[in-house]
Structure 1
Amino acid sequence: MKLLSSIRELPVLAKSNVHIKNEETLLEKLNKIISQGHEKLQIVTDFDHTLTRHIKDDGTPVLTSFGMLTACPSVPQHYKDEDMRLSAIYKPIESNGCISVEEKTKHMVDWYVAANSLLKGMIFPKNELTKVAEGLKDCFRSGVEHLIEWSESNKVPVLIFSAGLGDCVVAAVKSSNLMRGNVKVVANFLAMNERDEIVGMQGEIIHTLNKNETAIKNTEYYGMVKDRSNVLLMGDNIGDAGMAEGMEHCDVVIKIGFLSCKVEENLQNYMDKFDIVLVNEHTLDVANALIDLLQ
């Protein structure tokens, strides 16, 4: 294996939209991961606006996993209206760089409790998600397929860790042929009865600020990575930076953050939490350049 003498050996890190928190620290982390190889690596990634883009080429927003739900024909208009009202209240709070994590967490819990209560009693044939998911095929970041194929061929576990709706995440990933044996999804999954009626959510609610090891401790994924001490982590929200926190066996975590909204307001906050911050980036070129260093 060839260790790096400088991160500038990777041209992808020299792009003007790439912001690096500490070059010396990043170099040290990279070389440790390179020296230990893919056998010690796991990949932990958010879904909405991380594996998927934030906007399309024509400037229209890419559907989130909850947005996929509202695009289904069986979802009533009153749900869509109330969902939009809640988003207008809480989305600005989620992206506000001046609000403390503690205060944000309270608001995120309120948001998810309110949003989930709207779903109860709704009749929802989940097969409708298949058609909606087809429309997301062109919304994944360029390079996602390479990341998944590389991880599959090298037997590197990939966790898609989402505060969104897991049923929609799985539908989108399957539709784009990205659901491989090494890929697991931990998210909020609908609880349904035999009449296709939503009765709630399965397990504890995962929101943007509690995505950490406690949510995956009893999952199949945790057993897959107990001997993998190095993590490549990707997310687009400040809370995503903590997705590997609490994993006692983790040694090196390289955190890549995607920043697309309120850049000037949030850049420093993202720099404080992520090793690499990518501003208005539509590809996974950086992540792929890093994994391609491993043997």
Structure 2
Amino acid sequence: MLDREGVTKFLSGENIRCRDTAKVTQKICEMKKDGYSALQILADFDYTISHFRFEKEKMSSSFGALEKYSGMSEEFRAKTLALYNHFYPQEVDPNIPAEVKVGLMTEWFTKSAGCIISEGVSKETVKNAADTSKVKLRGKFDVFAETLKKEEVPLLVFSAGVGQVIERVFSNAKISPDNIKLIANMLEFNSENNAEQFRPPLITTGNKSTVAAQEKEYFNSHIDRVNSILLGDNIEDIQMSACVRNYSKNVLTVGFLNDRVEDRLDLYKSTFDVVILNDPDFTDVIQLFECLQ
């Protein structure tokens, strides 16, 4: 039986906003009947698994780990900061049509990636940048990841960020990779260990559904996982559901709304089943997961 008290407690949490509680409750009920053996998790990394702010300080994305690293040239940091100042306001502007925003984000990611390659970063530079960065995992994500491992629930981390930075952050936090699949922008290095390109195609916030279509082996291996929880912080992260829609019974979508909350809340509530405010730790996600026990 569904623990309706637990679901009610989750949906009434101070960080939680939900447009249709009846719909969400029904999804949770159906997912609980199928159990953990039918469940998979699809999650963005930057500002979803990681914090947007922590103790009132703005945290870095995985691209930002390199862009702000003191070991990079001043010219590089100036260029990437200018790109951020130009494109970030457009990323969070709810008045820009989705099709226009996809083009803008593709331009931003392409130019940022070009700056990294032009800088000729080494494997050691990437490691040091990750180690000293302000990329911070949300509290209790390690607990969530360990619970998924114990219950044998696969976690797909699907990110438009820098793959090696994400791997290093996970490693430093002792996050087990055993049941985690990472799809991200992986740097490819030459014989001198300097980056020469990002492995194509370059993943942006706007093309995750297209990239997912190329990961047939992973999704085919989990075709019995007919229920999914999707975690993201951008409206475009909803695209991750496209890769499981053909065989899914239920996709429960959860959006972290970290910035410009007042003018984007209605948009997020109309896009995601559940919206999480206030940039909290993973307690709310763990509580949702426990509703499916």
TM-score range, shorter chain: over 0.9
Report Cα offsets for 1:38-64 as digits up to 9, x if no partner: 00100011111111111111x211111
- The partner residue of 1:90 within 87, 90, 93 is 87
Amino acid at match of 2:123: K
Q: TM-score, normalised by structure 2?
A: 0.92
Q: Structure 2 CA distance, aligned partners of 1:85 and 1:227?
A: 46
Residue 79 of structure 1 contacts residue 118 of structure 1 at CA under 8 Å; is this kept in 2? Answer: yes
Q: Structure 1 CA distance, aligned partners of 2:153 and 2:3?
A: 22
What are the residue-to-residue correspondences of 1:183-262 with 2, within 5 Å?
Answer: 183-212=180-209, 214-215=211-212, 217-218=214-215, 221-247=218-244, 248-262=246-260
Given the alignment of the two structures, is residue 102 of structure 1 paired with residue 99 of structure 2, yes or no? yes
Report Cα offsets for 1:8-58 as digits up to 9, x if no partner: 74423212331102111101100111000000100011111111111111x
1:182–1:224 Cα change, 3 Å? farther
Q: Structure 1 CA distance, aligned partners of 2:285 and 2:34?
A: 17
Residue 235 of structure 1 contacts residue 257 of structure 1 at CA under 8 Å; is this kept in 2? Answer: yes
Amino acid at match of 2:18: I
Q: CA deviation at 1:263?
A: 0.7
Residue 42 of structure 1 contacts residue 232 of structure 1 at CA under 8 Å; is this kept in 2? Answer: yes
Report Cα offsets for 1:64-102 as digits up to 9, x if no partner: 101111344542221111001111111111110011110
Given the alignment of the two structures, is residue 153 of structure 1 paired with residue 153 of structure 2, yes or no? no
Residue 60 of structure 2 contacts residue 134 of structure 2 at CA under 8 Å; is this kept in 1? Answer: no
1:76–1:224 Cα change, 3 Å? farther
Given the alignment of the two structures, is residue 60 of structure 1 paired with residue 57 of structure 2, yes or no? yes
- Residue 269 of structure 1 is matched in structure 2 by 267
- Residue 76 of structure 2 is matched in structure 1 by 79
Report Cα offsets for 1:75-130 as digits up to 9, x if no partner: 22211110011111111111100111101011111112222222234332223344
Q: CA deviation at 1:292?
A: 1.6
Residue 62 of structure 2 contacts residue 135 of structure 2 at CA under 8 Å; is this kept in 1? Answer: no
Report Cα offsets for 1:115-171 as digits up to 9, x if no partner: 222223433222334444345699221220121011101111101111111111111
Structure 1: gaps spanning 5 or more residues: none
Q: Paired residues, what number?
A: 292
- The partner residue of 1:21 within 19, 22, 32 is 19
Q: Structure 2 CA distance, aligned partners of 1:204 and 1:98?
A: 28
Structure 2: gaps spanning 5 or more residues: none
1:138–1:104 Cα change, 3 Å? closer
Q: CA deviation at 1:238?
A: 0.7
Quick one: percent identity of the two aligned structures?
Answer: 26
Q: Structure 2 CA distance, aligned partners of 1:201 and 1:42?
A: 28
Q: TM-score, normalised by structure 1?
A: 0.92
Which sits farther off after the overlay, 13-22 or 208-217?
A: 208-217
Q: Structure 1 CA distance, aligned partners of 2:223 and 2:52?
A: 32
